[in-house]
Amino acid sequence: MTTATVPSQPPPLADRSSARAWLGNVIEKVKRMNKGAGSGPTAAAAAAAAQKQKTLMQRVETDIASIVDNFSQLVNVARVNDPPVRNSQESFMMEMRASRMVQAADSLLKLVSELKQTAIFSGFASLNDHVEQRTNEFNQQAEKTDRMLARTGEEAAASLKELEAHYYSSGHRTTQNSQQ
């Protein structure tokens, strides 16, 4: 089983493409971890994994778009104006945009945590599946060996019986007994 590690924290994300690339790398590492541990996934599991990946990518796109949009609005609102009423409105807008950025960043952190949990739990599940598969293979091999050993014992007993019958009925035995 390969031991790929899932990064604990995302790198500084300058734009959507770097975030997309980082998430793609994390997902590929999770896939490699799961692929090496056991037999391949079923078609239903592969479809579920593809759907999960699509959903995660949509979440990343949405959260990063929210961060970028709110940051650009925050910068636009940060202009200093003369009327105090206008400044208080802009201050409120800045607080609102900053709050939305924090929510989007929190959502991204939860996504990273979810990816880590998925990697850990699916790794254990595939490892357990692999251990169970190998146990079944060894049990089958042990049964096959037991059958072969029993058959060999029966053949040896039959051969010994045949040899004894041949020996006791042979003339060679009777000549040895008469010489003694």
pLDDT in tens, 158-172: 999 999 888 888 876
- Give the Cα-Cα-Cα angle 135, 139, 145 (nearest 5 degrees): 145
- The model's confidence at residue 35, banded by pLDDT at 50, 70 and 90, is low
Mean per-residue pLDDT over the chain, rounded: 77
How far apart are alpha carbons 14 and 56 in whole angstroms? 19
How far apart are alpha carbons 56 and 23 in whole angstroms? 9
Q: Residue 168, exposed/middle/buried by CB under 10 A (0-12, 13-18, 19+)?
A: exposed
Provide the residue range defining the domain that includes 71: 16-132
Domain assignment present for 168: no
Domain assignment present for 163: no
Query: Is the pLDDT reported for residue 154 higher than 90?
Result: yes
**Which of 1-15, 72-86, 110-124, 138-152 ranks highest by mean pLDDT?**
138-152
Domain assignment present for 64: yes
Domain assignment present for 116: yes
- On the CB side of 114, CA atoms within 13 Å amount to 14
Domain assignment present for 161: no
Domain assignment present for 174: no
Single-letter amino acid, residue 11: P
- Does pTM top 0.85 for this prediction? no
Token pair, residue 66, equals 């929210």
Residue that the structure tokens 């924090």 belong to: 102
